[in-house]
Structure 1
Amino acid sequence: MLDDASGPGCSAGRMTTKACGSPQRQEPDHASVAMPAAADMPHVDRLLGLAADIADAPIAALSLVGGRQWLKGCSALPDIDGFAQALGSCPRGLELDGAVIVHDTLADPVRSTHRLVSGEPSLRFYVGIPLIGQKGDILGWVSVADRAARGVFSGRARARLNRVARIVVEILEAEGRGAFYDQAHGFLSSTQSPLLISDGVGAITFANPACERMLGYQPGAMLGLNVRAIVPARFHGPHTAGMAAMVAGGTPRLAGKTVEVTAVKRDGAEIPVELSLSSWRSSAGIAIGATIRDISERRSRDARLLRLAHQDPRSGLPNRNRVIEELTAIQASGGEATALVLGIEGLRGANDNLGHAIGDALLEALCVRLTARLDPGALLARLHSDELAVILRGQADPAAAQDCAQALVSAFAEPIQVGDHPLHVGVAIGAALAPIHGSDPEEVLASADLALDRARRDGGRCFRLFEPAMRSAEAARRSLLDRLRIAVERQELELHYQPQVDLETGRICGCEALMRWRDPERGLVMPGEFLSAIESSVLALSIGWWTIDEACRQTAAWRAAGLPAMPVAVNLFAAQLRAGTLEEVVKDALDRHGLAPKDIEIEVTETIALRPDDHMLRPLRNLNDSGVGIAFDDFGTGFASLSMLKSFPLTKLKIDRSFVRDILTDPFDAAIVKGLLDIGRGLGLHVIAEGIETAEQEAALLAMGCRLVQGFRYGKGLEPAEFANRLAVDQTASASKRTLRRAS
């Protein structure tokens, strides 16, 4: 099948192919114009298949000037040259644009007698589209034919055939430019970046294999399609308008920019893509190129990152960002909420000493417990490593906050079994009401944090609701800390020493180092006014280490002055145990000042003892093994259990002054003191009673078997020089007693 491209009498070679097969070339009878060889036309078979599909015709052909022809859909056409001459020489069916359309060859007096019409293959319908080159010359024809006549041939089909013809022309003219095109086409086809080119009306003129694979098309199947095929229907309007503006000479608004859009695959699925557009003008008109990148994986990764931005990665709970969003939404809608902040005691120790696997399992088990005690609408979140939050939506009721807090505290009553580890965790809870206690989420959480700090300072395992006075108290605490930082720099902190007495001998047997602050404006400030502020700040560690070193330095100075040897007791901050370097710091201070381990005693309060883990106990055990004394201070005033006495490497148990004060009038206090003395003796511990102020208290303790005492009856905290004088007097009195005993 051939349309006469050069006029009647043009000779043509032919190439035949079986339906849907690969073209097989037959050499032309003679060459008239230099055109690409068959090997240089890799898309011929796809284009002919596309032309046949467009016209819904079984036969398609590409005929070039010079006699070469590619045929698809018919095994052979006898006497093809005669058929071409008959079609080309007859003006009937010729359209204004040069196309030839013959609806019924039998109705044409010239064509009806042709052997291809009257005999095999009995062609009845024919359409030929000319291939018009850049200079206006005809390079050949794209043709389709059918064995059945047709009454109409749609304008849409004709337009699409014209697009196929333009694609063929571009390929012919580009390949005619030689090796440069070969290299460029090879690069564009082999690159893994999906590339797409369309003409000014949106017809796809090039799609490389990477683009076809990405969008799910068979090789060559995209050629001739309108770009709208890969644009979601909801965006067809803006797309068409943009194309029209470019054809009219406008500059593409997206040219040179990278944007993220949605593309439609062959199966209708939508994928997110990143699109970079460029445009240029050629002799064939405007062309638009696109580099396309499937960003499905990146979108998925971004979604994961967004989820992580609102989710704690270890527990899977919502995080602080999610809490802020929740409170923001509630307050923006004029709603109410209660925010509870839970400070978890023991969680960090489990991570540090048992590993994150155990720590994560502990957190997971704890969250299950807490969730079981919360209403379905409550939000449980993780703010920090050892802080959780609960948001109660739609209520700002103090009573409801109290009830919720009590339910949550009950979750900590029993240890949590993780593998072989029964783990004890504690909690302190602070709460704030929105919008009463904050006009924005950050202020609400800050108010809840202040309430949590108060709950922690009150001993933990309790609940506190925010009060406005807490904010002023916090401001005062921060001001106090600022002044304390200056005091540390100016060396205004000092240690005083309170005697500890052996009732059987009446001699000083030790002392406790007590911190004082000599403020230039206020004078001597007692620890009750500033010690809690230090303990809850970063100053605790530096001041704690200074206390140990200063006590050792002073003890060495007394020793050098000839005063009797005795242990000095130093109180620890919790931060010193958490630091993990207590053993090294104590041993270094002893070595630096030439002291023996027995010259110092470490006092551990019950608050610290509530978190007995190996990370904290190991340095205490090692110090005790080396000869350093370990005292348990304020025992019985909080939540410490008797079993803790077995965990700690103790040498001394101190009975708190609150039990001693009413020992003469309160039988319960007397029983407690007597019981603690018996327990201490049974465990082989030294027991010392604090807060003795009267002779009657001393006599009662002595009758119970208490030997070691401390209190104002024997002296308050004394400055180093005063304590040295007291030691000297005590030493002289003891020497006199020994002399009298020897004389008698």
Structure 2
Amino acid sequence: MKCPPVLAIEKERLKALSQYGLDSDRPLPSLDPVVQIAVHMFGMPVAAVNMIGTDYVFLAASIGIDEAEVDLRRDVSFCAHAITQDEVLVVPDTTLDKRFHDNPLVTGAANLRFYAGVPLLSPEGHPLGALCIIDGKPHDDFSTEDRQKLKELAKMAADRLELRRIEISTEQARRPFEEFARNSPTAVVWFDEQGLIIAWNDAAAFLYGYHLAEGAGRSVATLVAEPDRETVIDLINRAAAAGSMEGLTMPKGVRGLRKDGKEFLLGLSLFCWREKGRLTFNAHVQDMTARRRKEEELEWLANTDILTGLANRVSLYRHAEETLLRPAPMAVLMIDLDGFKDVNDTLGHSVGDAILQEVAHRLTLITAPADTVARIGGDEFAILLPEVADPEKAVELARRVIASIAEPIVIDGQEVRVAASCGVAVAPTHAQEALELIGDADLALFKAKHLGRGQAFVFVRSLRMEAAARRLYNIELHRAVSDGEFVLFYQPQIRLSDCSLAGAEALIRWRHPQRGLLSPAAFLPALEGGPLAAVVGAWVLDEACAQAALWRRYGADDFRIGVNLFGAQFRVNDIVEEVDAALKRHGLPAEALELEITENIVLDHDDVILDALQRLRALGVGIAFDDFGTGYASLSLLKQYPLSRLKIDRSFVQSLHESTRDASVVSAILDMARSFGLETIAEGVEKDAQYKCLRDFGCEEGQGYLFGKPIPAQDFAEIFGIQVPAPITSIAAKKFKP
């Protein structure tokens, strides 16, 4: 048998151990839960906390051990070996280990066949003992994860030992009450095991509204509100019986009672020690009312949407998790306001805030007290319906929500209307976990919005596949950028007076390696809303400027190129510097470039966009307003923004020659443009009759299938007689340089 070595720091180790006041007659009850957890966690019959003395070990806590039958000499102790190393000591089969095969604990009645122990260290790093688990049969499956779990339990044991050391050191270092507490700003009450106050300090007397002399002899129970006295007295009695506060938990929510009968939230820290056979308690007390109020305010702020007073996103998820963990059925409604952004941007944020508050109020009126109504961001709301597992019942409420929100909202005498879309998911049918269920409702909302305003949609599993496809689409877009799969097509813009070529609009296409040539409708929504918009937009700008400069050098002297901008280009880098650099790089005059913007771009970032457009116009670049007449605030934009051209939307051109209303609209747009000094171009011109009407109305230019579809650069040059030498007919093969 190999005896454990004596450590080089043995003297310091024993001194550290003495600070814990432990021996074979003084176990530590607070360690009992640790060994109980160890037994259950590892399925072993024995667990113990062994403290290693000079010649013997003693059990601070144990389960499954009869001390009378176990050899506790240090020489035979496995734990005495464990404290000599830093990591977990694991002996899978003691009979096969040359250190222990003839150990009395192995060969004797104890029948120790498996051992795993981890040292317990003092704050200074001195090994005091070990937490161990033992079995009467070998184990060769004690994993790295098991070792980590045992080390975590050892940390718990070390923490409880440290509390013991602090208690002992407090006893040993305690000064007389009059010295320590009389002038302390902390309220301190000193009482005996019968609960009679021995003394208190000025701070304690002041806290309770008494004179200092009124403390001695008073029952400490009179300092506690009547409903809580039994709890505090029971705690004192249990501590008196054990002779220690070790392992006892301070009661929470106890209320103190002042002399004038007023109650307050009591913060209580209790210590006790035995001196000369007499048990004495030391209570530190404080008024926690203000702190609790502050904590409640912080908790409210952390879980509440400030604008509406509803639950916020964090609170929504927590309530959903609590419901599903019971487990209990639940429905989730995700609600998004349709058209809110237009209202918010045109009528102002104060009106927008008032609308959100009114919507929150209406949702609260519709729902039951047990339901959770939340605003989870912007114009998006959610409702949790506990105990609702029927989708039809949830949809019924969704329809009521949509109808309620659709009712006119009056703000400062002004009637405003917004609509709402709603997505519905229920547990356990659609999901059994909060995050997934709310995600399902969000996917259903996404579908509802695509169906049109004021729609409700119940989640179906195919929506997850569609979402996965969108994510895949985004991955493919990244590949398209890196591999140069995007190309530009050009659609001619014609002067209606003589049908001569005025310029072209550069339109992006995607040469997908599997799906062939894709039009913008197939990918532009994903591109515009993703992180690549600014990169692709910069490439389109550079490519179009290069192509226009090439054509102007070879005969198209007054050719103008139109380029559509993404909103992201105004947020990333400086669009004005980007445009100026592209013009200079390719030698293209500023008047040969026309940048096309939509109303959505303008409304997204009013001040930023306005400043950038004004600087672009100062360069001489044209600014065209695309899809004019279809937006919410087109007329107001004419006054604010430095536009040079209006593009009349194709929806007004299609029936121009047949509908007097459409003809009147187009005529009015042209009159308005002339009054603002703006040029005009009509989109979607497909028939000769449309062309003639537009020409007669005084529209300067037209664009549409009548004049030509979007085509590659080489085809465009051939059709319009731009004589570019063969080797440089087109620059469309140029790769991205993000």
* TM-score for the superposition, normalised by structure 1: 0.62
Give the deviation of 1:219 after TM superposition: 0.8
* Closer, same or farther: CA 228–494 of 1 in aligned 2, 3 Å: same
Which residue is equivalent to 2:282?
Answer: 289
1:273-288 to 2 correspondence within 5 Å? Answer: 273-283=266-276, 285-288=278-281
Give the deviation of 1:512 after TM superposition: 0.9
Matched residues in 1 for 2:569 and 2:444: separation? 25
Which residue is equivalent to 1:253?
Answer: 246
Note the alpha carbon deviations across 1:652-681, whole angstroms, 9 max, x for none.
122233333344444544444444334333
Matched residues in 1 for 2:537 and 2:275: separation? 82
Which residue is equivalent to 1:227?
Answer: 220
Task: Identify the match of residue 184 of structure 2 among 179, 184, 191.
Answer: 191
Task: Identify the match of residue 533 of structure 1 among 526, 530, 538.
Answer: 526
Give yes or no for the alignment of 1:401 onto 2:393. Answer: no
Matched residues in 2 for 1:322 and 1:695: separation? 62
The question of whether the paired residues in 1 share the 8 Å contact of 2:338 and 2:453 is answered with no
* Closer, same or farther: CA 716–320 of 1 in aligned 2, 3 Å: same
Matched residues in 2 for 1:685 and 1:456: separation? 36
* TM-score for the superposition, normalised by structure 2: 0.63
Give the deviation of 1:362 after TM superposition: 3.6
The question of whether the paired residues in 2 share the 8 Å contact of 1:342 and 1:389 is answered with no
Structure 2 portions without partners, runs of 5+: 1-173, 726-738
Note the alpha carbon deviations across 1:307-336, whole angstroms, 9 max, x for none.
112212344333224444666788866566
Note the alpha carbon deviations across 1:443-485, whole angstroms, 9 max, x for none.
5543443354456667x86545345354443332222112112
Task: Identify the match of residue 566 of structure 1 among 529, 554, 559.
Answer: 559
* Closer, same or farther: CA 584–461 of 1 in aligned 2, 3 Å: farther
Give yes or no for the alignment of 1:708 onto 2:701. Answer: yes
Task: Identify the match of residue 262 of structure 1 among 254, 263, 275.
Answer: 254
* Closer, same or farther: CA 686–259 of 1 in aligned 2, 3 Å: same
The question of whether the paired residues in 2 share the 8 Å contact of 1:602 and 1:629 is answered with yes
Matched residues in 1 for 2:700 and 2:246: separation? 94
Which residue is equivalent to 2:469?
Answer: 476
* Closer, same or farther: CA 616–380 of 1 in aligned 2, 3 Å: farther
Give the deviation of 1:705 after TM superposition: 3.1
Matched residues in 2 for 1:271 and 1:642: separation? 63
Task: Identify the match of residue 615 of structure 2 among 609, 612, 622.
Answer: 622
Give yes or no for the alignment of 1:341 onto 2:336. Answer: yes
Give yes or no for the alignment of 1:500 onto 2:497. Answer: no
* Closer, same or farther: CA 606–200 of 1 in aligned 2, 3 Å: closer
* Closer, same or farther: CA 466–477 of 1 in aligned 2, 3 Å: farther
1:538-617 to 2 correspondence within 5 Å? Answer: 538-559=531-552, 563-577=556-570, 581-608=574-601, 613-617=606-610
Q: What amino acid is aligned across from residue 520 of structure 2 in structure 1?
A: P
Matched residues in 1 for 2:443 and 2:642: separation? 35
Give yes or no for the alignment of 1:377 onto 2:366. Answer: yes
Matched residues in 1 for 2:689 and 2:383: separation? 53
Task: Identify the match of residue 676 of structure 2 among 671, 680, 683.
Answer: 683
1:91-240 to 2 correspondence within 5 Å? Answer: 185-240=178-233
* Closer, same or farther: CA 327–241 of 1 in aligned 2, 3 Å: closer
Note the alpha carbon deviations across 1:267-318, whole angstroms, 9 max, x for none.
3444334433332222251222233343322211211122112212344333
Give the deviation of 1:529 after TM superposition: 0.8
1:296-311 to 2 correspondence within 5 Å? Answer: 296-311=289-304
Give the deviation of 1:577 after TM superposition: 4.7
Across the two proteins, how many residue pairs are aligned to each other? Answer: 539
Matched residues in 2 for 1:639 and 1:247: separation? 78
Give the deviation of 1:515 after TM superposition: 1.0
Q: Percent identity at matched positions?
A: 33
Which residue is equivalent to 1:28?
Answer: none
Q: Secondary structure at the match of 2:497?
A: coil
Matched residues in 2 for 1:590 and 1:411: separation? 50
The question of whether the paired residues in 2 share the 8 Å contact of 1:497 and 1:723 is answered with yes
The question of whether the paired residues in 1 share the 8 Å contact of 2:423 and 2:459 is answered with no
* Closer, same or farther: CA 398–289 of 1 in aligned 2, 3 Å: closer
* Closer, same or farther: CA 230–473 of 1 in aligned 2, 3 Å: same
Q: What amino acid is aligned across from residue 200 of structure 2 in structure 1?
A: A
Q: Secondary structure at the match of 1:729?
A: coil
* Closer, same or farther: CA 525–453 of 1 in aligned 2, 3 Å: same
Task: Identify the match of residue 718 of structure 1 among 704, 711, 716.
Answer: 711
1:301-340 to 2 correspondence within 5 Å? Answer: 301-324=294-317, 334=329, 338-340=333-335
Matched residues in 1 for 2:582 and 2:440: separation? 41
* Closer, same or farther: CA 425–727 of 1 in aligned 2, 3 Å: farther
Give the deviation of 1:517 after TM superposition: 1.1
Q: Secondary structure at the match of 1:692?
A: coil
Q: What amino acid is aligned across from residue 457 of structure 2 in structure 1?
A: L
Which residue is equivalent to 1:742?
Answer: none
Q: What amino acid is aligned across from residue 401 of structure 2 in structure 1?
A: C
Q: What amino acid is aligned across from residue 335 of structure 2 in structure 1?
A: L
Give yes or no for the alignment of 1:430 onto 2:422. Answer: yes
RMSD of the TM alignment (CA)? 4.1
Larger radius of gyration: 1
The question of whether the paired residues in 1 share the 8 Å contact of 2:650 and 2:683 is answered with yes
The question of whether the paired residues in 1 share the 8 Å contact of 2:504 and 2:561 is answered with yes
Which residue is equivalent to 2:514?
Answer: 521
Structure 1 portions without partners, runs of 5+: 1-179, 733-744
